């Protein structure tokens, strides 16, 4: 009788502890970017939590170039990075924040302009355009949001190109504006890399030439 009573008490205690553990789990902060469901912001560094891009798995243990090369929607970007001679730079230790235009974003650029940039004679100009999508240091979506809030609604991001990008928010959607009036929206944030982070964008940003 005593043994049965002890087993029952242990079982009730275990259930009670399990219930308490569940109720004390803090809610996960979320962010929303254009065209995406809300996704965890604070779990992006956890193994297996990195978002897929274009249906391809992205690995936080791989560098920016390796993950971009695996993305089926960043073929033009990878070709441009190769043509501009920036592969070794973006494979480096960094860390870097890269605003990565998709193939659809590059398709919005007039074909003659894009073809011209991809010519060997325009290698330096192409490199400047690509560097305009790179900021030194790792800036998550939460970091960008804080900078925008602290800046009274906008943040000036110094790019590796040397010129600034202007970041603003509407709701939870981050938009970037180039020095020449070009614009891009972050459509997928916080794709972690071993040497930084990628934010997928829907436009090509161009500096003042």
* Whole-number pLDDT of residue 135: 97
* Enclosing H/E stretch for 24: none
* Whole-number pLDDT of residue 7: 33
* Whole-number pLDDT of residue 209: 83
Domain assignment present for residue 5? The answer is no
Instruction: Count the Cβ atoms, other than its own, within 10 Å of residue 49.
Output: 14
Structure tokens at 186: 């972050």
* Whole-number pLDDT of residue 124: 95
Domain assignment present for residue 24? The answer is no
Domain assignment present for residue 75? The answer is yes
Instruction: Count the Cβ atoms, other than its own, within 10 Å of residue 124.
Output: 9
Domain assignment present for residue 207? The answer is no
Task: Enumerate the β-bridge partners of residue 186.
Answer: 201
User: pLDDT by residue (tens digit) across 174-189?
Assistant: 999 999 999 999 999 9
Rg from Cα positions in the chain? 22
* Whole-number pLDDT of residue 18: 36
Distance of alpha carbon 182 from the chain centroid? 19
Domain assignment present for residue 23? The answer is no
Q: How far is CA 79 from CA 51, 68, 73, 90, 139, in A?
A: 23, 10, 12, 13, 25
Specify whether the CB–CB gap between 198 and 95 falls below 8 A.
no
Q: What is the CATH number of the domain that holds 113?
A: 2.30.180.10
For 73, the domain range is 30-201
Q: Is 16 in a helix, a strand, or coil?
A: helix
Domain count, the chain: 1
* Whole-number pLDDT of residue 46: 41
Domain assignment present for residue 118? The answer is yes
Structure pTM? 0.77
DSSP line for 123-145: HHHHHHHHHTTEEES---HHHHH
* Whole-number pLDDT of residue 194: 95
* Whole-number pLDDT of residue 85: 95
Q: Are strands 196-201 and 96-101 parallel, antiparallel or unpaired?
A: parallel
Structure tokens at 12: 């009730």
Domain assignment present for residue 4? The answer is no
Instruction: Give pLDDT < 70 ranges for the chain.
Output: 1-48
Domain assignment present for residue 14? The answer is no
Q: How far is CA 65 from CA 90, 122, 153, in A?
A: 6, 21, 32
């Amino acid at each position: 009788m005593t043994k049965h009573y002890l087993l029952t008490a242990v079982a009730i205690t275990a259930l009670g502890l399990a219930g308490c553990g569940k109720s004390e789990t803090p809610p996960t902060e979320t962010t929303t970017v254009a065209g995406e469901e809300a996704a965890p912001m604070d779990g992006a560094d956890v193994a297996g939590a990195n978002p897929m891009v274009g249906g391809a798995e992205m690995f936080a243990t791989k560098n920016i170039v390796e993950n971009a090369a695996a993305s089926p929607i960043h073929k033009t970007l990878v070709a441009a990075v190769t043509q501009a001679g920036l592969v070794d730079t973006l494979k480096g230790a960094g860390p870097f924040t890269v605003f990565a235009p998709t193939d659809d974003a590059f398709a919005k650029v007039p074909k003659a302009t894009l073809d011209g940039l991809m010519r060997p004679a325009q290698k330096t100009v192409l490199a400047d355009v690509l560097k305009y999508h790179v900021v030194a240091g790792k800036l998550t979506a939460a970091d960008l949001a804080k900078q925008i809030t602290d800046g009274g609604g906008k943040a000036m991001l110094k790019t590796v190109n040397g010129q600034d990008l202007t970041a603003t928010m509407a709701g939870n959607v981050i938009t970037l504006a180039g020095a020449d009036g070009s614009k891009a929206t972050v459509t997928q944030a916080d794709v972690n890399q071993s040497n930084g982070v990628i934010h997928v964008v829907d436009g090509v940003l161009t500096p003042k030439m």
